[in-house]
Amino acid sequence: MKRAGWYVIAGFAAGFAGMAGLHGMGAAAPAALRQPKSASTGASAVPSAPARTTGPAARAGSSGPVRTATGIVEQYGYGELAVTVTARGNQITSVSVPLLRTAEPYSQQLAQQVIPMLRAEVLAAHGAQIHGVSGATYTSVAYAQSIQSALDKLHIK
């Protein structure tokens, strides 16, 4: 076959451009962080307690009783996690991850590297509106989702 190579190269260029274009559209904005798909599950796989709220309803300001809530267990591609938020009034005072399970060790390492960064973001932003950590998009999305559900339980906006 004459010029077989050229046909393959032409196809390669088209396929590459097509796939890169498709991907570009999906990833242009941190879309995953803005419109995350919730994939929460029942409590079967959850060792820690599902959502629980302590204390009375929220009051404005940073005064008031200390309340704690754990968000829903978020499953992401490589594992699942849940985030616990502690707040005094409407002020988030601490964030922790009582549940982290991954499919394999690599994701575990990655999550452990990333979770402190995400916590810092949340504390800085006073809420779930975080940018996430690039290179750990799934973990970031799951983290933000779980935080949001915890905040909802605490009626913190």
Partner 1 sequence: MVAARSRRGGKRQSARTEPHRPRPALLRAGLVLAGAGLGAVTALAITDETGAELRAPGGVMTFLGSLTGLVGTYLALLMVLLVSRIPAIERVLGQDGLLRWHRRLAPWPISLLLAHALFITVGYAQAARAGLGRQVAVLLTRYPDVLIATVGLGIMCAIGAISIRAIRRRLRRETWWLVHLYMYLALALSFAHVLALGPSFVSHPLTQIVWSVAWAATAGLVLCYRFGLPVVRSLRHRLVVHEVRREGPGVVSVICSGRRLDKLAIAGGQFFLWRFLTRSMWWQAHPYTMSARPQPPYVRLTVKAVGDHSAAVARLRPGTRIVIEGPYGAFTRFAQQRPQVLLVAAGIGVTALRSLLEDLPRNSAPVVVLRGTGPEDLVLRTEVAELVRHRRGRLHELVGPREQARLDERSLQRLVPDLHRRDIYVCGPEGFVTSIVEAAARLGLSSEAVHHEAYAL
List all residues 6 or more positions away from 115 whose beta carbon is below 8 Å from its beta carbon.
97, 100, 139, 143
Answer for the pair 108, 102: CB distance below 8 angstroms, yes or no.
yes
Q: Which stretch binds partner 1 (CB under 8 A): 45-53, 61-69, 80-88, 133-141?
A: 133-141
Residue at token pair 């849940």: 82
Q: Which of 109, 125, 129, 131 binds partner 1 (CB under 8 A)?
A: 109
Interaction pattern, residues 5-34, with partner 1; x per rule: CB under 8 A: --xxxxxxxxxxxxxx--xx--x-------
By C-beta, is 82 or 156 nearer to partner 1?
82
Restricted to residues 37-56, the positions that interact with partner 1 (CB under 8 A) are none
What is residue 53's DSSP assignment?
Answer: B
The answer to the question of residue 133 lying near partner 1 (CB under 8 A) is yes
By C-beta, is 13 or 120 nearer to partner 1?
13
What dihedral angle (degrees, nearest 10) is formed by the CA atoms of 51, 49, 42, 92?
30
The answer to the question of residue 60 lying near partner 1 (CB under 8 A) is no
By C-beta, is 56 or 134 nearer to partner 1?
134
d(CA 156, CA 139): 23
How many CB atoms lie under 10 A from the CB of residue 152? 15
Which amino acid, residue 21? G
Which residues sit at the interface with partner 1, rule CB under 8 A?
A: 1-2, 4, 7-20, 23-24, 27, 76-78, 103-106, 109-110, 113, 133-135, 138
